[in-house]
Amino acid sequence: VSTQSTWDVQTGGHALNTWMDPIPEAQRDQVMALLSAMETKLPKSQIVKRVALDVSYGESFKERLQAFVKPYLRKTIPSLFSALKSLYADPAKVAVMTQVFGAWEAGLSKDSKFPDEEGTESPSTFLWVLMLQAAHHYRMQEFPKALEYINNAIAHTPTVEMLYILKGRILKHLGQPQEAWASVEKARLLDTADRYLNTRATKYLLRNNQIKEADTISSLFTTQPDDTVSYNSVVDMQCMWYEIEEGDAFHRLGDIISAMKKWLLVDKHFQDMEEDQFDFHTYCLRKFTLRAYVDLLRFERRAHGHKFYMRGSVRVIKGYMQIFDELADKVDLQAKVIPIKKKGDAPEVKEIKKKPNADDDEEEDAQDKKDKDYNMHVNTTDPLGAALPFWKDLHKYAADDIETHILGAQLYLRKDKPLLVLKCLLAAKAIDATNAELKGLATKLRAAMDKPDIHQAVRATFTSLGSEF
């Protein structure tokens, strides 16, 4: 879901241009002159050099690209591939990059030299050029070519973790989730103490619907102080990406109830954030820390526009609509619940004799309360009513995203609110009149208008506005 509305909230509704926005050709020379002056004053600044790549074109872009990328290749810096990401929005710059990277690959493979230089480069530079080529074709969505380059890079040096991470991403887009996880798992095993590699392996396991195995891998970094593994530690850390991915895995396996419980945890985290802020109000006024207090008020205003809340809300709305449809078809949702035993769950038989201790009883009571709080309630009595608050948050913070209005139309169709459906469809049409789902929803709305209990005023409104579809 787009977060442009969140940006508007952060800037008080003022549209502020960024350095990634297109610059009019008449002003481009002025901006380049300014950047050149800044480069003279700040010769070591990588930010100035990177911004210049977005502004420059033609031969100037080619020269600046070579000067910017070569130090990254010689130092084998992985962030190079992310640093070039925004350049792929311009086809002209993509063509220049294809030409330059291809020439580098040919020169280094022939005599270990860049085409325009005499010095011999180290083997690691050629390795990074191969990885750059793989990332380049990956960005262009030429996945078979990208896979060929990354395999050549792995054959060159099979002990670099980032090669396997990139290969996993390529295989994911080729529709091979099992092979993608196997590649990321190789990267994890090369450095088992790396939390990032552990996180990537966990995410790919969840995307392969291996929920229990993902919990086992993630538990390597979520142990409790007493060395007992618990799934609750993931929830305590408010690890929202994990909950969303795990919910998606349950949903793909057909268990909508378990999926909803994971997605609803995201909403609980934001509720906890709001509750934790109450003490901060009096603290700021007492200590007179007004700057921190203003930051708090701004955060409260835009908290529900966070990308994780948006992602969770979309899934919760779709989940509740699915529950509504399946209940209407007399589907037994509880029968589809998948019992997955996790390492953090209590065993079925557990008899440990311990001396009575009041502190132990308090810890057990606190743990029982936490388990109860983390077992989210899924409203199967009124699923559409439960979905409505989430959609209102979407409408407030992502009104410029067509998916928001498509979801609103689908939700209000099920609630028999034809005028609100029409309002959502008109808003969606204003964003993208060619959207494939609009005609289908408009057809369902016309069918709903044929019902005899529709008020005449509603029919008149639909007749005057519905002709646009």
Mind listing the pLDDT tens digit for each residue in 225-254? 554 445 567 788 888 999 999 999 999 999
- Per-residue pLDDT tens over the stretch 82-104: 899 989 988 999 999 999 999 99
The pLDDT, as a whole number, for residue 15 is: 46
User: What distance, in Å, lies between the first and last C-alpha atoms of the chain?
Assistant: 24
Quote the mean pLDDT of the chain. 83
pLDDT in tens, the chain (469 residues): 444 443 343 444 444 455 556 677 777 778 888 888 988 898 888 888 998 898 888 898 999 999 999 999 999 998 898 899 989 988 999 999 999 999 999 999 988 889 888 888 899 999 999 999 999 999 999 999 999 999 999 999 999 999 999 999 999 999 999 999 999 999 999 998 899 999 999 999 999 999 999 888 888 877 655 544 455 677 888 889 999 999 999 999 999 999 999 999 999 998 888 887 777 777 887 877 888 888 888 888 888 888 899 999 999 999 999 999 999 999 898 888 888 765 555 444 344 444 555 555 555 555 555 555 578 889 999 999 999 999 999 998 888 899 999 999 999 999 988 889 888 988 998 898 888 888 888 888 888 777 777 777 777 777 766 566 6
Q: What is the pLDDT, as a whole number, of residue 10? A: 41
Q: What is the pLDDT of residue 160?
A: 93
Enter the pTM of the model: 0.80
Long-range contact list for 302-306, CB < 8 A, 24+ apart? 302/6, 302/9, 302/10, 302/397, 303/270, 303/273, 303/274, 304/270, 304/393, 304/396, 304/397, 305/3, 305/5, 305/6, 305/9, 305/396, 305/397, 305/398, 306/6, 306/270
- The token duo for 30 is 């002025």
Give bridge partners of residue 223 from the DSSP assignment.
229
Query: Which pLDDT score is estimated for 296?
Result: 80
Q: Residue 398 class from Cβ within 10 Å (0-12 exposed, 13-18 middle, 19+ buried)?
A: buried
Q: What per-residue confidence (pLDDT) applies to 285? A: 78
pLDDT per residue over 396-417, tens digit each? 888 889 999 999 999 999 998 8
